[in-house]
Structure 1
Amino acid sequence: MAESGVFAGPAMRRLRKREGLTQAAMATRLSISPSYLNLIERNQRPLSARVMVQVVDAFDFDLATLREDASIGGIDGLVRRLNDERFSDLGIDRDEAVELLASAPQIAAAFARLYDTAGAAVVGEEDPLDLTRIEIERWRNHFAELDDRAEILADELRLSNSDLGAALAERLRERHQLTIRVLPRDVMPDAVRRLDLHARQLQLSEMLSPASRNFQIAMQIAQLEQQQPVFDIVQGSRLAAEAARKLFERHLFSYFAAALLLPYGRFLRACEATGYDLPVLQRRFGASFEQLAHRLTTLQRVGQRGLPFFMARVDRAGQFSKRLAGASGTLLLEGETSCPLWIVHQAFERSGTICVQAVEVESRSSGIGHWLTIARAVDGSGTTGDARFAIILGIEAKLASNLAQARSLSLRTEDAQPIGLGCARCFRGDCRQRSLPPKGALLRFDRAMRGVTPFDFSS
């Protein structure tokens, strides 16, 4: 927080009122002028590192409360909620959302809490997937303690200097007296991993790829050795529903497993040295495309940040089974289904090929966004079975010029493919691929003319 100061006017104003102080009295205790404090409270000056220290010393203050917006995912989290189709007629833009969060963060947090609760009530019960996603977004999918622990263990196991699978198997054998046994598909048809404590075995399906086999071993190590830090994070979450807590717990164990296989510092250095060249990174770390995509959404270590990617997993019907916005702030993952013009759908027909597309997406609350997106089809659960999905990675086009996968692609806005958040949330009037009218739009009918799209509407 102290890198460039924090605008925390409302928090400072509430602290002063809680202490029953005038601006002059509080300024004296902080060794600053009353006029400077007045500017801080009006969000016209940031709270500097020196003043932060004074606040902590003088009032025993928790600095975490200075960034109240983090609890709702920051401005991107607020914009995501305001982008709901139920507010489409209000024309709320991003600037208004920024103003609300800056001037009245508690009101913004109250709105976010009501919105999240109402969203669960619409379907009659809390959706554990949505609740878990909101919690992950609150952290921007970066869990520093788990990254640190994984990096220490990776160094201890010397994973960069030895056969990855052998080193992980040796850890299980020495630390937990467990051996690895690979079983035929007909013996273990409905599982990819099973812990048999009676036989002291970690049993793995023969259908797993080498990358997925290593991940499953790392996942088991995480569950055996990282229970306390994961438990602490889950306990500190805002998840009351048991299913949501279990999903969040599973995400955290998976996070640690990925951080063990792709240790933060070494992975980020490789990303920067190769221009985030995905095939090279896959080979260098023995990772699958999906594992790599997950990991790229997590690189938010203070003082050592990577590029802010988002990732999603989509099926052939355009349904999302995974959505991780990371620190990207994207709204591309907010539709119920994905746009048929998005390259993620073409990836199914080009097995094994990395597909690249620059897209332009328009949202009423956030304006027009310009993104570089990268897609590839993958097998479900890392096997060679019948399940197929497409993994999509994305980053703002303005940050993508040096990426390996962008070298042969135009990143000019006028060359981007216009897409939407699915037909029901897209108000582009000239799309020939449209299957449904946008919700909330006023349909228009003209008996004398039939347009090139099936629906004519006004917003």
Structure 2
Amino acid sequence: MPRGTRLFVGQKVRQLRRYARMDQAAMARLLGISISYLSQLENDDRPLTAKVKAALAGAFPLDWSGFDERPEEQLLGAFNWALANPGLGSPPPDPERAERLHLHYPDFAARYVELHHALRQTQDRLAMVEEAAADGARAPWDLVRDWFHETDNYVHALDIAAEDLSRQLGLEGMGNEARLIDALSRRHDCRTRFSARDAGTLRAYDAATRELTVRAALPPPSRAFQLANQLMQLELDAQMAEITEEAGFGDPTTEQLLLLSLANYAAGALLMPYGAFRQAARDLRHDVEPLATRFGVSFEQACHRLATLQRPGLRGVPFFFCRVDMAGNIIKRHSATRLHFAQFGGACPLWNVHEAVAIPDRILVQLAEMPEGTRYVIIARGLVKPSGGYGRAPRRYALALGCEVEHASHVIYADGLRLTDEAAPTPIGPSCRLCPRETCGHRAFPPLDRPIRIDPARRGILPYSVG
């Protein structure tokens, strides 16, 4: 902020407090100021100081990104966030000193932000390498997953095009199926029919006859998603081919898998257009069930979309999302948080997603902590997908959705959790082969990077101790 400029933002501070459902006393405690000082701020009797700005940015990181859209203030927010990154292991400098540094050396602040972003990317890639060393060569599925992670699970060109098309078609949840069938017919001369013959096929498109066949027994949200998927393949084939070429995999299987994933992404963006979906999620405090109902999608589709709301300048709460099968395999994964699934592994038996598999249609809530100290609010829900016939076993799996605890005020599932209690979180970890927790009695395997000790004269919960 230029020298001499004073920032009065009383209405915005009041809106933040009300959105977080706080009274003035609670907000004052959070910011480390008196109630009278907060009242003066809200009535524009006092401007923001560097310390209060830093406190607001730390307490409301998502809202603060749109608090003051001037470039210098956006850079200051990013600079403060990078300085406060707990992964650096040292306390951040005083907010006033950080602001002076940013004011006098803006190029340095910008470079520091870039380096911090590069550090996080390097840490993510190191986690991928560690998992690859533990599990062998990376498969096409893993390569595509990592590509999405490096894009922050957000593909701007597809997202913007899908949002524009959704507006043109008037998609609004109710009646989406009929509108999509009509769009396929009008825009691409594609005839849609529903079939009950092949229970193993969800969607089949014949390019020669321009006929799309969709499985009739699918639930309405799944039918709409298959229709949207085919529409986006026809609408955005050139854009998706360009993105795939730029990814540079050089392997036909991986490229085809990326094309499939991009079509799925675009279909979700069409049914849940970015701006409307983000606002509805905020209004509902990310209560997934009414959110899914409002947009005519499934619980899983809504969870998946929440993990992609990373549009620059209009970000949503950063979530991770995954699907886990009965054997504990993570078969779908996306993360906009620091919790990288290549590092997490999905094998920790203390993670509530394993319990959820056995309890269909019930939401379990967990406050969990990773070994480096990052805490997450996690929900898990078990689901059963009908097979379409007596001779086929239904598919049973669980979904997990989580965010870092700093965003808890935006998430209805955090209500009632003991967020500040040091003993409250469940100590989860990465996969057992990578987990550093020495005293965990739930291990399936010893860690790869640490020696173990075996004492024939002494037996604990595990037959070894970690050195």
Q: Distance in 2 between matches of 1:410 and 1:338?
A: 25
1:431: Cα distance to partner? 2.4
1:266 offset after TM fit, Å? 0.6
Please state if 1:456 is matched with 2:458.
no
Residue 167, structure 1, aligned to residue 176, structure 2:
no
Residues 357-397 of structure 1, C-alpha deviation per residue, up to 9 Å, x if partnerless? 111111xxxx2221111111234599796222211111101
- Look up the SS of the partner of 2:437 in the other structure: coil
How far the C-alpha of 1:336 sits from its partner, in A, is: 4.0
Contact 1:359 1:370 (C-alpha < 8 Å) held by counterparts: yes
State the match for 1:378 in structure 2. Answer: 383
SS in structure 2 opposite 1:300?
coil
Structure 1 residues 225 and 178: CA distance shift in structure 2, 3 A: same
* CA distance, structure 1, for counterparts of residue 300 and residue 187 of structure 2: 29
Instruction: Provide the residue aligned with 1:178 in structure 2.
Output: 190
Distance in 2 (CA, whole Å) between partners of 1:121 and 1:227 is 37
- Match 1:419 to one of 421, 428, 445: 428
Q: Per the alignment, in what secondary structure is the counterpart of residue 449 of structure 2?
A: coil
1:46-82 CA-partner distances (Å, limit 9, x unpaired): 369xxxxxxxxxxxxxxxxx95887xxx433322333
- From 75, 79, 87, the equivalent of 1:4 is 75
Aligned to 1:89: none
1:340 matched to 2:349? The reply is yes
Deviates more, 1:348-357 or 1:232-241: 232-241
> Partner residue of 1:75?
119
* Offset, 1:200: 4.0
**Deviations for 1:180-219, whole angstroms, at most 9, x for unmatched residues?**
22211xx213311011345543111133111111000000
Q: Which deviations, in whole Å up to 9, do the C-alpha atoms of 1:247-271 show, x marking residues without a partner? A: 2111111111001100111101101
- Does residue 409 (structure 1) correspond to residue 421 (structure 2)? The answer is no
Asked whether the equivalents of residues 193 and 212 of structure 2 are also in contact (C-alpha less than 8 Å), the reply is yes
Identity, in percent, stands at: 33
Amino acid at match of 2:295: F
Q: How does 1:108-127 map to 2 (within 5 A)?
A: 119=132, 123=136, 127=139
CA separation of 1:381/1:248 partners in 2, compared to 1, >3 Å: closer, same or farther? Answer: farther
User: Which whole-Å CA distance do the structure 1 matches of 2:428 and 2:115 have between them?
Assistant: 33
- Indicate which of 140, 155, 160 corresponds to 1:148: 160
TM-score by length of 2: 0.72
Partner of 2:110: 46
Structural mapping, 1:347-358, within 5 Å: 347-358=356-367
Q: Could you report, residue by residue, the CA deviation over 1:133-182 in whole angstroms, capped at 9, with x for unpaired residues?
A: 22212211111221111111111111128511111111112222223222
For 2:388 and 2:222, the matched residues in 1 are separated by 8
Give the letter for the 1:342 counterpart: W
CA distance in 2, matches of 1:314, 1:284: 26
What are the residue-to-residue correspondences of 1:139-288 with 2, within 5 Å?
139-160=151-172, 163-184=175-196, 187-197=197-207, 200-288=210-298
CA displacement at 1:333 relative to structure 2: 4.7
Mapped partners of 1:84, 1:263: distance in 2: 31
Contact kept, 8 Å, 2:365 with 2:378, in 1: the verdict is yes
Cα deviation, residue 311, structure 1: 1.0
Cα separation, 2, equivalents of 1:140 and 1:386: 33
For residues 455 and 322 of structure 1, the distance between their equivalents in structure 2, rounded to whole angstroms, comes to: 33
Structure 2 counterpart of 1:109: none
Evaluate the alpha carbon distance shift between residue 370 and residue 79 of structure 1 in structure 2; reply closer, same or farther with a 3 A threshold.
same
* Residue of structure 1 equivalent to 2:31: none
2:148 corresponds to 1:136 = yes
- Cα distance in 1 for residues equivalent to 2:456 and 2:133: 42
**SS at 1:4's partner residue?**
helix
Q: How many equivalent pairs are there?
A: 370
AA of the residue aligned to 1:308: P
Partner deviation per Cα, 1:69-108 (whole Å, 9 max, x = no partner): 87xxx4333223334796xxxxxxxxxxxxxxxxxxxxxx
Over residues 291-341 of structure 1, what are the superposed CA-to-partner deviations in whole Å (9 max), with x where a residue is unaligned? 112111111122211100111111122211122112x12135524442111
Quick check: 1:310–1:324 contact (8 Å CA) kept in 2?
A: yes
The answer as to whether partners of 2:199 and 2:388 remain within 8 angstroms in 1 is no
In 1, Cα distance between equivalents of 2:438 and 2:173: 56
TM-score (norm 1): 0.73
CA distance in 2: counterparts of 1:68 and 1:177, whole angstroms: 50
Question: Does 1:394 find its partner at 2:402?
Answer: yes
Deviations 1:8-54 (Å, cap 9, x if unpaired)?
xxxxxxxxxxxxxxxxxxxxxxxxxxxx9x9678x4x4369xxxxxx
Check conservation: 1:343, 1:357, Cα contact below 8 A: yes
Q: Which amino acid aligns with 1:427?
A: P
Asked if the contact 1:282/1:289 (under 8 Å) is kept, the reply is yes
Q: SS of the residue aligned with 2:398?
A: strand
Structure 1 distance, partners of 2:199, 2:170, is 34
Paired with 2:268 and 2:388, the residues of 1 have a C-alpha distance of 18
In the other structure, the counterpart of 1:437 is 446
Please give the secondary structure, in 2, of the residue aligned with 1:340. Answer: coil
Is the 8 Å Cα contact of residues 209 and 382 (structure 1) preserved in structure 2?
A: no
Name the CA distance, whole Å, in 2 between partners of 1:383 and 1:375.
25
Confirm whether residue 323 of structure 1 aligns to residue 333 of structure 2: yes
- Within the candidate set 300, 303, 314, 1:304 is matched to 314
For the residue of structure 2 that corresponds to 1:208, the secondary structure is coil
- Going from structure 1 to structure 2, the CA distance change for 1:183 and 1:79 (only over 3 Å counts) comes to same
